[in-house]
Amino acid sequence: MSKDSTLGLNPESLARLLGIALYSDSGEGKDDSAHTTAQLLKARLAGTLPLDTTVVEELPAILGQLRKNLMPLGGRTLGEVLTDPKSDLGAIKKIRRYAKKMASRKRTEADRAVAVAIYYAAIASALVFHDMKITTHSYESLEASFAKLINKPWMSAELNSLFVRALRLCRKKGHKSKS
């Protein structure tokens, strides 16, 4: 098991950690909580991955040569990369790792919910657009997670649509593996 893909956690521990925000029902009925989470998700999806520290350290030497393709994700937002069928699988995997790290940090419930949503959006993007499963979670587990995320009051329409498509694929693939 690679430390890079699981942060040293076994699948059950990781599922519990990521599930904290996903399966928490506390506060879901509160309009301000849903509004705050929706705003946070929108802001995160409009952002990009942070610059790698090695890139930051090298900036003085390369400022004259800095081009858009040196920026993480080519300067595109997380939301653009996750919902674009032409996005590179490597970029999607980077987003998944970034979201996993975000989810593992002590943050507010809204921060954790957004990190979990982005984590599962990366998995959904790889499934839908590349027919690739980039996680050790089973199709049944993914199906349940996508179902929990669909129609959250704070979910963006684009991610909601992505989760619906991924859920259908998981159902299809989960049934095939049982045959």
What is the tens place of the pLDDT at every residue in 79-119?
999 999 999 999 999 999 999 998 988 778 899 999 999 99
pLDDT tens-digit series, residues 9-28: 566 655 555 554 454 444 44
pLDDT, position 120: 97
Whether 110 contacts 142, CB under 8 Å: no
- What pLDDT shows up at residue 12? 60
Q: What is the pTM of this model?
A: 0.67
- Can you give the residue ranges of every domain in the chain? 10-178
The answer, yes or no, to whether residue 171 has pLDDT greater than 90, is: yes
- The pLDDT, as a whole number, for residue 49 is 74
State the Rg of the chain over Cα.
17
List the structure tokens of 36. Answer: 């705050």
CA trace torsion 147, 152, 154, 155 (10° rounding): 30
Give the CB-side neighbour count of residue 75, counting CA atoms within 13 A: 5
Q: Which position has the higher pLDDT, 159 or 16?
A: 159
Question: Does the pLDDT at position 5 exceed 60?
Answer: no
- CA gap 149, 22 in Å, rounded: 7
Total length of the chain: 179
> CA distances (Å), 50 to each of 54, 77, 126, in order?
11, 11, 21
